[in-house]
Structure 1
C-alpha cells in the first residue's frame, strides 16, 4: 500500500503539516520538590516523532503563540527539533497554555491552564490557513485541535481542509476525544464526525470511541469512520488487537507485546507519526501497524511525551531503504 508515490530524486521533500496546540509542560523532576520544564501537545508530539523518523521530510507545525518569553522558548525548541515554525503566528494579548503532571503512587494526573492560550485562535484567519496548507502533501489534526478553537475557528478549519484536499493534499485525523474540552457531548460527536468526513485516514482509540459513541468493539469504530468517508481507519486498542479498514478491506492485527510500561502519554501520538511517516513506501497495512506499535512501545518505556526512538529499526520493519540518516535522540 503506497498512499502517495515516493518522490523522485529531484522532487521537493514530502511535507507533513500538523495543526494544533503545543503547551508548556511542568513535570516532576528526579529531585524532590522540583519541576522540569518541557513542551508538548498531541499534534505537536506527532510532528516531532514524524521528523525523527523521516528527517528527509519537511514537517511544519501550524498554531499560534504569544509574544512573551515562554512563547519564544517554545519556538526555539521547535526549530531545534527540525520543525518549520513559519506558520506559527503570534498574538500579543495571549500566551501559551500550561499543564502540570502530578505523580501519586506511580499514577499520573494532569492540571491544565489553557483558557487564554493563543492556540485557541490558530484558525481565526482563513487566508493564513490556506497559506499554511498550500504545499502540504498531508495535513494532520486531532480532536483536541477542534475542541480548543474559539469563535469561527472550527468552521474556518473545516473549510481550509476542504480546500487543501481539492488541491491534492491528504488529511489524517486522530479523534483523540476529550469530553472535558467540549461544551457538550452532541457538539463533540458532531465535530468529530465532521472532521472524519474530511479525512482520508482516521486513527482513533477504541476506549475513547466506546465512551463517546457507544461502539461495542473496535470493528464498529472502524466501520463508522469508513462510512463517513475515510479510506484508511486504524483503531488503536491498547494492547489488544488493532481493527483496521483499508480501501474497503477489513482486518485485525495483534500488536507486539509492550514490555516495560513507564509513561503512556505519547503512545498514540508516536504510533500515529510512525504510521503516517511511511505512506510513500510500499508496505501492507498490517506491517505498518506492527512497525508503528514497536515505535510506540519504545516511547512508553521512557518518561515524558518526547522520547528517543530507533528510526533505523522502524525503516527496516517497513522494508524502506536507509536513505536519510535517522534521528534517534532528542529527549527533553
Structure 2
C-alpha cells in the first residue's frame, strides 16, 4: 500500500473510518414490518473490516448523542469489536435515522438526519487529529464530506492531508449522494478536493458517469489519478472492475451474483474486502476478487451488516 506502515506484513494494520452511523429501519422478514439497527457507509466498512480480520484494529470516529439510543449504538459497536473510544458525545444532538425500502433487491432511502451529532465530528481539529494519529489506514467518504459544513470539510481535509504527508494511507469513497448537497457543482468540487488528499480512491462508475459526465470507465479512473491518487478501483455493479495500483492498470471480471436481496451495503462491504486484502497481500486483482465475494454475500441477505461465513474470514 502507498505511504503506509500497514504494508509491513508483520504488523496488523490499524484502520480508522470517519463518518456517520445512523439508526437503520430495515425491512424485516414479515412484509410491512421493520427492525431497528445501526449502520452508515463508513461505519459499515469499519464493521466488515473487523468481521474479515478480527485481529485488525478497526476504529470509528464520529459523534453521537447523550441519550439511550446513542448508548445502544455504542454498545453495538463495542460488541462488534469496533474501537469507539474517539466517538464524542453531543448534549444538543442525537443520531440520524434512515428507513430502507426495497423493490426487486434495489433499495431507496428516506432520511431524517438534520440534527445528527455526526455533523459536528470535525468541529475540533486537534480532537480529530488525535483520533487518527495512531492509525495506518484513514478512510472517509463523500457522505462524510456532505454532512459537514464548509469549515468542517476544510478541517477534515487538512487533517487527512497531514496524515498522508506523515506516511499514512488515506482512502476515499466518493459515494455521490446529490440530495445531501446544495448543487451538483458543490458536490463534484468537494469530492475532487477530497480525492486529491488521498492515496486510494474507490468510486462507482454509474454514479460517476451520472454526475461527472464521464464518457467511460477509463475516464473515471484517469480523473482520479490526475487528482493525485495512486490507486483507483472503479466499482462497476456486476460488470468489470477497472483498477490502477502500484503503477499497473488492469481489469477484473468478478463472478456474477446468484441472488440479489438487498444492495444496501454492497459498496461498503466491497471497500472493506479490498482494504483488508490489499494490506494482507498487496495484489490488487486478488483483493478485488475478495472484495467482490464479500459484496456478493452481503447483497444476498437483508440489511447493511450481514454476518460472514467462516471461510471468508482472513485471519
1:6: which partner in 2?
8
Are 2:50 and 1:48 equivalent residues in the alignment?
no
Q: Report if aligned partners of 1:232, 1:245 keep a CA contact under 8 Å in 2.
A: yes
Aligned residues: 313
Who is 1:321 aligned against? none
Q: Which residue of the partner structure matches residue 191 of structure 2?
A: 192
Name 2:92's counterpart in structure 1. 93
Aligned counterparts, 1:215-294, within 5 A: 215-294=214-293
Contact 1:232-1:247 within 8 A present in 2 as well: yes
SS in 2 for 1:108: strand
**TM-aligned CA deviation for residue 29 of structure 1:** 2.4
- Gaps in structure 2 of 5+ consecutive residues: none
Kindly indicate whether the alpha-carbon contact (under 8 Å) linking 1:52 and 1:311 is maintained by their aligned counterparts in 2. Answer: no
CA-CA distance at 1:232 after TM superposition: 0.6
Residues 246 and 7 from structure 1, CA distance in 2 versus in 1: closer, same or farther, beyond 3 angstroms?
Answer: closer
Q: Is the 8 A contact 1:219 1:244 kept in 2?
A: no
Task: Give the structure, 1 or 2, with the largest relative contact order (CA under 8 Å, sep 6 or more).
Answer: 2
Establish whether residue 112 from structure 1 lines up as the match of residue 111 from structure 2. Answer: yes
Q: CA deviation at 1:5?
A: 2.7
Contact 1:165 1:171 in 2 (8 A): yes
- For 1:27, the equivalent position in structure 2 comes to 26
Tell me, in whole angstroms, the C-alpha distance in 1 between the residues paired with 2:34 and 2:213: 39
Distance 1:259 1:96, change over 3 A: same
TM-score of the aligned structures, taking structure 2 as reference length: 0.95
CA distance 1:210–1:32, shift in 2 (3 Å): closer
Q: Secondary structure at the match of 1:273?
A: helix
Query: 1:103, CA displacement in angstroms?
Result: 3.9
Give the C-alpha shift of residue 135 in structure 1. 0.3
Deviations 1:205-224 (A, max 9, x none): 00110011111111110111
In structure 1, how many angstroms separate the alpha carbons of the residues matched to 2:247 and 2:86? 36
Question: Is the contact made by 1:63 and 1:87 (CA closer than 8 Å) also made in structure 2?
Answer: yes
Task: Report deviation, 1:306.
Answer: 0.5
The match for 1:60 is 59
2:134 partner SS = coil
- Give 1:170's aligned residue: 169
Contact 1:173 1:195 in 2 (8 A): yes
Match of 2:62, SS? strand
Distance apart, 1:186 and its partner CA: 1.4
| 8 Å Cα contact 1:223/1:245 also seen in 2 | no
Distance across 2 between alignment mates of 1:64 and 1:114: 13
> Aligned to 1:288, what secondary structure does the other structure show?
helix
Tell me which residue corresponds to 1:203: 202
Contact 2:106 2:262 in 1 (8 A): no
Q: Which whole-Å CA distance do the structure 1 matches of 2:125 and 2:90 have between them?
A: 16
Counterpart-to-counterpart distance in 1, 2:79 and 2:88: 18
Q: Is the 8 A contact 2:107 2:263 kept in 1?
A: no
Q: Which runs of 5+ in 1 are unaligned?
A: 316-323, 325-332
Q: Which stretch of structure 1 is more off in the superposition, 174-183 or 94-103?
A: 94-103
Q: How many Å separate the matches in 2 of 1:305 and 1:273?
A: 13
Q: Give, in whole Å, the separation in 1 of the partners of 2:164 and 2:249.
A: 25
Per-residue CA distance 1:218-241 (angstroms, 9 max, x = gap): 111011101111111000001111
Deviations 1:157-198 (A, max 9, x none): 001101212222110110000011011111111110111111
Q: With structure 1 as the length reference, what TM-score do the two structures score?
A: 0.90
